Amino acid sequence: MTDVTRRQLLGGTLAAAAAAPALAQNAAAPPAPDLKGRSILITGTSSGFGNLAALLFARSGAKVFATMRHLPRPEAEALQKVARDERLDLTVLELDVTKPDEVARAVRAAERLAGGGLDVVVNNAGIGLSGPVELQDEQAMAEMFDTNLHGPHRVARAALPGMRSKKGGLLIQVSSQLGRVMVPNLGAYSATKFALEALSEQMAYELAPRGIEVCIIQPGGYPTEIWASGARRTRDLLARTEDSRKAGYPELMVNAVRTGGGSTDPLDVPRAMAEVIAMAPGTRPLRRAVHPGPRPQEAINRVSAEVQRQLLGRGPFAPWAEAVLG
């Protein structure tokens, strides 16, 4: 089992540099789970959770396919350099989740290199945007849903035939606590994550009899690149929005551009994913909330699970519900 420290994970990657102040508070992390022999495709690895996950999983013995848009780019070169220097089994592939042909091509390439269907797919790629819902125009809403909802669906559709052929696999869907609770000014983002939660749970039931599991990861606030990129998108949105609409929300416009994320450790999220991956099939949770502070989504998760048990527990889908909800 590989002993992976936070300092090691951050070394040599451009994207992780922004998280260094938070991570410096911790001298070392506990050993990561052994992922030797697992083939794992991750979307959105140019920064944030995806970048950290690619390195954590590879350093834990996995065969990693780290995907990102617009190759070549410095972030890809940084990952490849770390892989060469440390002799990690990590391959960078081009994949934009909004382009179906590119999704299919990347998944086929990963399956060819893996020698068959993938063991794990991590749907991590996502974008953020803030501001009152009325201000979100057609362009903004289309971009958000295309990346945060249709993107994971495209990737899952591309990977599931290979998983079915091997009668097993795991989809990890990176949602958010805002996929269960709502905060004013983040409604459009929250809508995409609510939809992803529903899509993912639906797939969990339908895939259970085929030996394929789904786990929804629900991070709280973490200081990753999504805040900076989301702030840029929000500024662009506000620049093209009529003043009359903005004037209707004076108290929300004060904080319409969100740039935070707190001082929490982003490595919490990839480590939670690794723990789920290492679990035995049939024991993995449907949802995993991740944050050192309050996790308000957990109360909703419990109520939702109980309602679903009551709804499905006496009909033909009872075995599926039992497999997913326990």
DSSP string covering 171-228: EEEE--GGGTS--TT-HHHHHHHHHHHHHHHHHHHHHGGGTEEEEEEEE-----HHHH
Q: Is residue 319 part of a domain?
A: yes
For residue 274 the two structure tokens come to 């690794």
Residue ranges of the chain whose pLDDT lies below 50:
1-27
Residue 80's contacts (CB-CB under 8 Å, 6 or more residues apart) are: 90, 92
Residue 72 is classified by DSSP as: S
Q: How many angstroms separate the CA atoms of 61 and 87, rounded?
A: 11
Q: How many angstroms separate the CA atoms of 109 and 11, rounded?
A: 28
Given 39, 130, 193, 222, the catalytic residue? 193
Q: Is residue 248 part of a domain?
A: yes
Whole-angstrom CA distances from 239 to 158, 235, 246, 251, 254 are 37, 6, 10, 18, 15
Is 63 in the active site?
A: no
For residue 135 the two structure tokens come to 């201000």
Structural domain for 289, as ranges: 6-325
Q: Is residue 1 part of a domain?
A: no
CATH number at residue 114: 3.40.50.720
Q: Is residue 72 part of a domain?
A: yes
Q: What angle in degrees, to the nearest 10, is found between the helix axes of 151-166 and 100-114?
A: 30
Pinpoint the alpha helices (H) of the chain: 6-10, 20-23, 48-59, 74-86, 100-114, 138-145, 151-166, 187-207, 225-239, 243-247, 250-253, 268-278, 297-312, 318-325
Residue 14's contacts (CB-CB under 8 Å, 6 or more residues apart) are: 47, 74, 75, 78
Contact 155, 103 (CB under 8 A): yes
Q: Is residue 97 part of a domain?
A: yes
Q: Is residue 304 part of a domain?
A: yes
Given 46, 176, 190, 200, the catalytic residue? 46
Given 39, 47, 189, 222, the catalytic residue? 189
Is 175 in the active site?
A: yes
Name beta bridge partners: 142: none
Q: Is residue 81 part of a domain?
A: yes
CB atoms within 10 A of CB 322: 13
At 22 the pLDDT is 39
- Our count of domains for the chain comes to 1
Q: What is the pTM of this model?
A: 0.91
Q: Which amino acid appears at position 43 of this protein?
A: T
Instruction: For residue 189, give the nearest of 202, 176, 171 by alpha carbon.
Output: 176
Given 39, 60, 130, 175, the catalytic residue? 175
At 17 the pLDDT is 39
At 97 the pLDDT is 98
Q: Is residue 287 part of a domain?
A: yes
Is 222 in the active site?
A: no
Q: How many angstroms separate the CA atoms of 156 and 74, rounded?
A: 27
Contact 57, 64 (CB under 8 A): yes
Contact 201, 214 (CB under 8 A): yes
For residue 73 the two structure tokens come to 């780019």
At 28 the pLDDT is 56
For residue 33 the two structure tokens come to 């789970």
At 25 the pLDDT is 39
